[in-house]
Amino acid sequence: MLIGYARVSKADGSQALDLQLDALAEAGVPEDRIYRDRVSGKTEKRPGLDACMKALQPGNTLVVWKLDRLGRDLKHLVNTVDELRQREIGFKVLSGAGAEIDTTTANGRLFFAVFAALAEYERELISERTRAGLQAARSRGRLGGRPRKMDTTALHMAMTAMSDPEACAQEIAQRLGITTATLYNYVNGDGSVKEAGQRLLDKARK
């Protein structure tokens, strides 16, 4: 079964989905199987895409007009395509730079393999950066076990690790033995300390 996804960047009516919808229909996608969004490509909340991903089943093929209609950025695109591969869902791009992507062909399957390799490479980079950030904190004498709640040792380690813009907060929290919510309660995404974290540091100095 073919399932389509179409997106325009503006919701004010200045951009129309007609071109994409016509292309998807011509490719054989039923009208009631086309999911739509009217949001910027940089917006994380895309209800149409979320619904589309939930509707896709193994053996289905996701069809988009152009590759840039799907991903917020390259990282999101790579991860999304890799998720499709893992779920045994096909992927087809009708025009533009990614028009060669069609998993019903040998070349299309090759593209899937490339996307899978890129996704694995990105995961390894994130894991490596997180380990390096925590090791940097430990090298400064901030050693410790895996606390169940935030303490000054874990806080210093979290600040160092989170200062890397490519770090994964979930993995940092896991390695520190705390929840992601606890991590963000004390540290901002850029590694700077929040009010709760500052109170903890001030208390430790007394």
Sheet arrangement for strand 61-64: 34-38, 2-8, 61-64, 90-93
- Residue 83: what pLDDT? 85
Q: Which CATH number applies to 2-104? A: 3.40.50.1390
- Whether the CB-CB separation of 148 and 139 falls below 8 Å is answered with no
Backbone angles phi and psi of 193, in degrees to 5: -85, 140
- From CA 82, how far away is CA 199, in angstroms rounded? 42
To the nearest 10°, the Cα dihedral for 23, 48, 73, 68? 10
Q: What is the DSSP string of 11-65?
A: SSSSS-SHHHHHHHHHTT--GGGEEEEES-TT-S--HHHHHHHHH--TT-EEEES
Angle value at C-alpha 64, between 51 and 6, nearest 5 degrees = 55
- From CA 56, how far away is CA 68, in angstroms rounded? 19
* pLDDT tens for each residue of 110-125: 666 676 666 666 666 6
- Residue 146: what pLDDT? 47
48-59 in b/e form (b: 16+ CB < 10 A) is bbeebbeebeee
- From CA 161, how far away is CA 169, in angstroms rounded? 9
Residue 159 neighbours by CB distance under 10 Å: 21
For β-strands 34-38 and 2-8, DSSP reports them as parallel
Please indicate whether residue 14 is annotated as part of the active site. no
Per-residue pLDDT of the chain (206 residues; tens, 9 = 90+): 999 999 988 765 557 889 999 999 999 999 999 999 988 766 668 899 999 999 999 999 999 998 888 877 777 777 788 788 888 898 998 987 666 678 777 676 666 667 666 666 666 666 666 666 666 666 655 544 444 578 888 888 888 888 877 778 888 888 888 888 888 889 988 889 998 889 888 887 76
- Could you state, in order of their start, the residue ranges of all structural domains in the chain? 2-104, 122-205
- Whether the CB-CB separation of 30 and 3 falls below 8 Å is answered with no
- Residue 147: what pLDDT? 47
The pTM of the full predicted model, rounded to 2 decimals, is 0.54
